[in-house]
Amino acid sequence: MGFNNMLEKAQGLTNSASDAVSKLLDEFNAALPTIKALGFSVEDIQVGMGLLPEVKATLIAAADNVDVKDLDGMIEKKSEQKTLVVVLKALQAAYNVREQLGDLGLSGVEIDLTLGFPPKVSIGFMRKATLSAPAPITA
């Protein structure tokens, strides 16, 4: 394989990675209004570029701001937004576990979201969350 051929392949990979990151960011941006409406704020964003690009975000909220009963309706209403649905289902599962554990004094909730191949959502509860009240949900 010649040097020019390798450069062309590298350029193709770079373009594919850029397209993938762009799609991931579009999905994240589409999910943000609903996530913010639940009371979450974006704490941290990281973009990783490599053979498999990824976007990582950390979002935090006061645990009491999230009304788990509303999540089913949101999932149904926003079913075409795959990233959002994954986050909402992960929140449901985490809150179910939290409920079974009882009151441990964990007043904050944190979403660690990795948009990549494969995507990953981790939900954690923490002692403190210094955030504002949830924003109203818009269409």
Q: Residues 93, 63: contact at Cβ < 8 Å?
A: no
What is the distance between the alpha carbons of residues 16 and 8, in angstroms, rounded to a whole number?
Answer: 12
Domain edges within the chain: 3-126
How far apart CA 55 and CA 57 sit, in angstroms, is: 7
What is the tens place of the pLDDT at every residue in 66-120?
888 889 899 999 989 988 999 999 999 999 888 888 778 888 899 999 988 788 9
DSSP line for 76-103: HHTTT-HHHHHHHHHHHHHHHHHHHH--
Q: Residue 133: pLDDT above 50?
A: no
Assess whether pLDDT exceeds 70 at residue 33: yes
Calpha distance 136→38 (Å, rounded): 8
